[in-house]
């Protein structure tokens, strides 16, 4: 695929201590547990992108109705 992809796959193997095929075949939880044991500290997965909907950080700024209205406007603008 390319040099960058090969470097990324090597880095994944180096950091996880597992082959890429093993990482792909494993659940996120089992990968996290294996990395935690290898690194001797806990590993947490976090989302860096807010989701629109329940539990959204955007709710402090916009109501659901306002977000729905803006999404509807954007869809209408794209469908013209």
pLDDT of residue 70: 84
pLDDT of residue 21: 93
**In the chain, which residue ranges form alpha helices assigned H by DSSP?**
3-16, 20-25, 28-39, 64-78
Residue at token pair 């193997």? 13
Q: Where are the domains of the chain?
A: 3-39, 49-80
pLDDT of residue 75: 82
pLDDT tens, residue order, the chain (80 aa):
688 888 989 998 998 899 999 999 999 899 999 999 988 988 888 766 655 555 555 556 777 788 788 888 888 888 76
Read off the tokens for 15: 């950091």
Read off the tokens for 12: 């994944």
pLDDT of residue 23: 92
58's CB contacts (< 8 A; 6+ apart) are 50, 52, 67
């Amino acid at each position: 695929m390319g040099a960058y992809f090969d470097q990324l796959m090597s880095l994944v193997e180096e950091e996880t201590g597992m082959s890429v095929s093993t990482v792909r075949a494993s659940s996120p939880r089992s990968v996290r547990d294996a990395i935690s044991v290898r690194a001797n500290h806990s590993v947490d997965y976090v989302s860096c992108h807010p989701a629109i909907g329940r539990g959204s950080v955007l709710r402090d700024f916009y109501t659901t109705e306002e977000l729905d209205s803006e999404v509807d406007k954007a869809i209408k603008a794209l469908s013209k």
